[in-house]
Structure 1
Amino acid sequence: MINDTPMSPVVRAGRMGREDQPVLGLPGGAELRPWRTQDAGALMAAGQDPAIRRWNLFTVASAQEARERIARMHGRWRAETGAVWALARPGGDATGLVGLNDVALEGGSAEIIYWLLPAARGRGAAAGAVERVSRWALDELGLHRLRLCHSTANPASCRVALKAGFAPEGVMRGALLHADGWHDQHLHARLGGDAPGPL
């Protein structure tokens, strides 16, 4: 017998968009905060960084394009389709980006995205920021599942995923077109109720 009763959404519409995007504290005094227009320079620098361009397929050609991207970030929060934070010291410049892409409140899922500028790399900042956004998304927003995908040729991102508590689930063959051709991708995921990462 088929049950025609409609399923309730995992997270009700309006849960994000009715509220201001929160500032999320990190150990050591850093924070994740909404992007600001004055962060356009950091976004431009990211768009020129070879590693960010390679692994995130991300370019920014001008300050105007950077400002437009920041405006779209705020629009995605209000539309409840994305949530993007700048990694920074309080009152300082943005040194990285961590966020949720493809947010589906009704289905309870999203994809984690992130990058760091060169000066912020190598100290565990990416894993810590990914773990913090994941806790917010699963415990406070109420999503059920987060996924994190990266090229199999990018072992640094694999380490970030594992440290932030994202279990490996498999390889997606030929899943993303990079400048040098199609890359297989590792798929990691974290569910609400999973143990915290081994940070």
Structure 2
Amino acid sequence: MPIEIKHTIQPGTFSATTQPTLRTQDGDLVLRAPEPQDAPTVHAAFQDPAVRYWHARSMESLDEARAWVETAHQSWQREEAAQWLVTRAADDAPLGRMALRDMDLLEGHAEIGYWVLPPARGQAVAPRALTTLTSWAFTAGFHRLELQHSTRNEASCRVAAKAGYVLEGTRRSAALHTDGWHDMHVHACVGPAQGVSRG
């Protein structure tokens, strides 16, 4: 059956362009597309127990990391997801990763994903990068962004709040981690073009 609503974001909007490089307002951080030379950084991230635990993913080899980078580029071209590495502007040192996952161009929805490397934690890398990504996403036409995390992950709750993502509720027993089912907090941010406050 025909859909009687128009796409919030016209298909082809992203695939026709190069994934943009973004800079935080303070100029200290850069969000850029991952490249093949970043595979060791991606691999190292998934050797960290916290990243493995909260994402319930492992990455055992550099070949897997290289495949992750290639998939990231393919996902942009397919307009399904977008991955950015967060780096220090002064020397391009990798600090973490930000992502838009499950991109829905019809209704303008996407879900946030991220991790921060252990040496960069405690420096407000995640909230600054998330604020920058959120601003770009709304400029690009997204209507609503969601961030979900385990209710046990207090650090992610703080990141969401600092970046203006409102806590909307809890999805009970919604995500399976290695130690069992977790309740999930749902935070969301709605684009200002719709006349709804972000925070």
Q: TM-score, normalised by structure 2?
A: 0.93
1:142-171 Cα distance to aligned partner (Å, 9 max, x none): 110000000000110000001001000000
Gaps of 5+ in 2: none
Q: CA deviation at 1:196?
A: 5.5
SS at match of 1:64: helix
1:11 lines up with 2:4 in the alignment: no
Structure 2 CA distance for aligned equivalents of residues 102 and 191 of structure 1: 16
Matches within 5 A, 1:89-168: 89-90=88-89, 91-138=91-138, 140-168=139-167
Q: How much has 1:123 moved relative to structure 2?
A: 1.1
Q: Tell me the amino acid that sits aligned with residue 104 of structure 2.
A: A
Tell whether 2:26 aligns with 1:24. Answer: no
Say if 2:192 is the partner of 1:189. no
Q: Please provide the CA RMSD for this pair.
A: 1.4
CA distance, structure 2, for counterparts of residue 73 and residue 116 of structure 1: 18
1:85 aligned partner: 84
Query: Who is 1:59 aligned against?
Result: 58
- Contact 1:39–1:93 at 8 Å: present in 2 too? no
Q: Work out the percentage of aligned pairs sharing the same amino acid.
A: 42
- The answer for the alignment partner of 1:33 in structure 2 is 32
Whether the aligned pair in 1 keeps the contact of 2:7 and 2:107 (CA below 8 Å) is yes
CA distance in 2, matches of 1:93, 1:56: 23
Instruction: Check the 8 A contact 1:42/1:93 in 2, yes or no.
Output: no
Instruction: Give the distance between the partners of 1:169 and 1:30, measured in 2 at CA.
Output: 29
1:28-47 deviation digits (Å, cap 9, x = unpaired):
42200000101111111111
Distance in 2, matches of 1:5 and 1:114, equals 33
Q: How far apart in 1 are the matches of 2:179 and 2:198?
A: 35
Q: Does 85-94 or 152-161 show the bigger shift?
A: 85-94
CA contact (8 A) 1:30 1:89 kept: yes
Unaligned runs of at least 5 residues, structure 1: none
In the alignment, does 2:71 pair up with 1:72?
yes
Compute the displacement of 1:6 (Å). 1.6
Q: What is residue 46 of structure 1 aligned with on the other side?
A: 45
